[in-house]
Amino acid sequence: MKGGLRMKGYIKNIPVEEIFYLTDQVEYLPGQVVSRTISQNDAQSLTIFAFDKGEEISTHSSHGDAMITILDGEGRVIVDGKPFVLHKGESVLMPAGKPHTVFALEKFKMFLVVVFPLIKRTDN
């Protein structure tokens, strides 16, 4: 499957067996937040986003730790009331249960990694 997009497996929706840029995997669209999930299960979620200027993901929280890395542009993240302005190459960790908001100060792309807690089974 060399040279194509992987549609099944643990990691999907990105090129296989070739060098690629995460920034090329999502496109900016006017007035939108565009996302591409590349892996998601009970343990983790990996998603690439492209935000048009002025777009946002409103305040919410997650039961997993979430880390954002800016791939292009500039965005503002508010974590539990603390504002952060992030530029290309910078990251911020948003702890589980803390409210957070993401806002595009200009067009920007980000890579989001969420790691969820292991749930121990109580049945034997």
The number of beta carbons lying within 10 Å of the beta carbon of residue 69 is: 16
Name the DSSP letter for residue 81.
T
Quote the tokens at residue 10.
Answer: 């643990």
Question: Which of 93, 65, 88 shows the shortest CA–CA distance to 75?
Answer: 88
Question: Which of 98, 87, 101 shows the shortest CA–CA distance to 64?
Answer: 98
pLDDT(34) > 80: yes
User: pTM score, two decimals?
Assistant: 0.87
Over residues 38-72, the pLDDT tens digits come to 999 999 999 999 999 999 999 999 999 999 999 99
Quote the tokens at residue 30.
Answer: 């006017």
Residue count of the chain, please give it: 124
